[in-house]
Amino acid sequence: MTEKQKRSIIESGKQYFREIIIPNHVKGLEKLKLKDFKINPFLVNYLAAFLCGNTEPESLAKALVYPRILGTSINTSFGQNIQIFISSLAQVAGTASGIDGIDIEFIDAIDGRRKYCQCKAGPQTINKDDIATVLGHFKHLHNKARLDRLSVQIDDMIVGVLYGDESELSAHYKIINSHYPVYCGADFWEHLTGDAQFYHRLAKAFGEVVEEDNIDGSHLIMARIIEIAKEIEKQGGL
pLDDT tens digits, 24-58 = 999 999 999 999 999 999 999 999 999 999 999 99
Tell me phi and psi for residue 116, to 5 degrees: -115, 110
What value does the mean pLDDT take over residues 217-223?
96
pLDDT in tens, 114-152: 999 999 999 999 999 999 999 999 999 999 999 988 899
- Contacts of residue 119, defined as CB under 8 A and 6 or more positions apart, other chains included, come to 82, 86, 89, 103, 104, 159, 160, 161, 162
Share of the chain above pLDDT 70, in %: 100
CA-nearest of 183, 47, 49 to 104 is: 183
Alpha carbon of residue 87 to chain centroid? 14
Tell me phi and psi for residue 159, to 5 degrees: -110, 125
Please state, in angstroms and rounded to a whole number, the distance separating the CA atoms of residues 185 and 180: 16
Cα separation values, 227 from 39, 44, 57, 62, 220, Å? 17, 17, 10, 11, 11
Question: Is 80 exceeded by the pLDDT of residue 96?
Answer: no
Share of the chain above pLDDT 90, in %: 82
Q: What is residue 236's DSSP assignment?
A: T
Please state, in angstroms and rounded to a whole number, the distance separating the CA atoms of residues 230 and 210: 29
Please state, in angstroms and rounded to a whole number, the distance separating the CA atoms of residues 238 and 233: 9
- Contacts of residue 42, defined as CB under 8 A and 6 or more positions apart, other chains included, come to none
Q: To the nearest whole number, what is the mean pLDDT of the chain?
A: 93
pLDDT at 208: 95
* pLDDT confidence bin for 84, thresholds 50/70/90: confident
Q: How deeply is 73 buried, as exposed, middle or buried, from its count of CB atoms within 10 A (0-12, 13-18, 19+)?
A: middle
Sign, CA torsion 6/8/11/17? negative
0.85 exceeded by pTM: yes
Structural domains in the chain plus CATH codes: 3-80+206-234 (no CATH), 97-197 (3.40.1560.10)
- Is residue 120 within a helix (H) or strand (E), and if so which, with residue range? strand 114-120
Please state, in angstroms and rounded to a whole number, the distance separating the CA atoms of residues 119 and 189: 11
Q: H helices of the chain, where?
A: 3-16, 22-30, 41-52, 57-67, 73-80, 82-93, 128-148, 171-177, 186-193, 198-212, 217-234
Pairing state of beta strands 157-161 and 182-184? Answer: parallel
